[in-house]
Amino acid sequence: MSLCSRIFALLRKSRTLATSTTTAVAATASATASANGMQEAVAAPGPLRTRVCIIGSGPAAHTAAVYAARAELNPVLFEGWLANDIAAGGQLTTTTDVENYPGFPEGILGAELMDRCRAQSIRFGTKILTETVTSVDFSARPFRVASDDTVVHADSVVVATGAVARRLHFAGSDAFWNRGISACAVCDGAAPIFRNKPIAVVGGGDSAMEEANFLTKYGSRVFIIHRRNAFRASKIMQSRALSNPKIQVVWDSEVVEAYSGVEGGPLAGVKVKNVVTGEVSDLQVAGLFFAIGHEPATKFLGGQLELDSDGYVVTKPGSTHTSVNGVFAAGDVQDKKYRQAITAAGSGCMAALDAEHYLQEVGAHDGKTD
């Protein structure tokens, strides 16, 4: 996780800890928050009661929170505390410049974008808990959502916990993260540091083939590094990659080191080891993209929602409805195709509207929330 992400996470955690030290301090903090238009939640001794509980902290979660709050559903949002080893705000807190989110022609830092989303949620009355959900119970109404410190009873739940890109770890992999190493070609591939320069992709599945082809638009040459002598990608995706004159495959190999041309500079190349011969060679590239899959954050659900074979939440086509009536899923936790901030935000809007319609149908929309 980047230093920036850690700093933001620590600042958020310290706010929550500070407001719960004593009753007097909590009251002062609450008054101050109200004066500033903030509605951050302090853990209560008994269960919190809400019409909508949102689990997550990325674009999907905060878009759902904004829509739910403006509909006067008084949402409670668990943003997590270093959930999946990522600061509240999700995958965007691990990126630098975000240039493909509408409304920011000059781009915006990922962490700053998520801080703005968070502030907007708070502005409309969302109660935010900087705690990680450890268990849920969707077997009875109201639904039960719990962290180690807080229990929330909710008439509806939006699961927006995202998916974490799998990363490889080797010498220099952390040092050059966001300085030449990435896990999203669509997000970062068009950056100036990659244009007309050699780029490498690690992986052997459909995602690796797709990203390699995409990167040929910008790089002078694209290397696909794969630790086996055959791809597991579909035949059609393999054909597209292998027939592209700008793509070269490095078979039976793995990256063992990343390095810079000058001290403190961006990625300049990688050391590649042949797993059959043991020979280590040098590959000069300006970019290295991991395309080895994602891990959806669904383990905490305990099997209570239908998941697909890859662990993503299954939603009904054209909606955010899950296998449990009243529980909705938005963002990358249910989307393994697009995985973009803007599509996540759109599905967060859908989830909030679906939840509102559900509550109207069950007659809970006008109920009192503690």
Distance of alpha carbon 60 from alpha carbon 331, whole angstroms = 5
How would you class 353 by CB atoms within 10 Å of its CB: exposed for 0-12, middle for 13-18, buried for 19 or more? middle
Q: Which of 53, 187, 332, 354 is catalytic?
A: 187
Strands (E), 125-229: 127-129, 135-137, 143-146, 151-159, 163-165, 181-182, 198-202, 221-225
* Catalytic position from the list 97, 149, 184, 252: 184
211: Cβ–Cβ under 8 A, 6 or more apart, which residues? 185, 186, 189, 201, 203, 289, 291
- Both tokens of 4, joined, read 């920036």
Give the DSSP H/E element, type plus range, for residue 188.
Answer: helix 185-188
Residue 248 φ/ψ, nearest 5 degrees:
-130, 135
117 flagged as catalytic = no
* 202 and 290 Cβ atoms separated by less than 8 Å: yes
User: β-strands 287-290, 181-182: how paired?
Assistant: parallel
Which residues are CB-contacts of 286 (< 8 A; sequence separation ≥ 6)? 180, 193, 194, 197, 198, 199, 219, 266, 267, 268
Q: Among 298, 335, 309, which Cα is nearest to 320's?
A: 335
Contact 212, 232 (CB under 8 A): no
Is residue 349 flagged as an active site residue?
A: no
User: Would residue 53 show up in a list of annotated catalytic residues for this protein?
Assistant: no
Active-site option among 4, 117, 188, 332: 188
Strand (E) or helix (H) holding 269: strand 267-274
- Please, are residues 219 and 230 in contact by the beta-carbon 8 Å criterion? no
How many residues appear in the chain? 370
Question: Would you name the residues annotated as active-site residues?
Answer: 184, 187-188
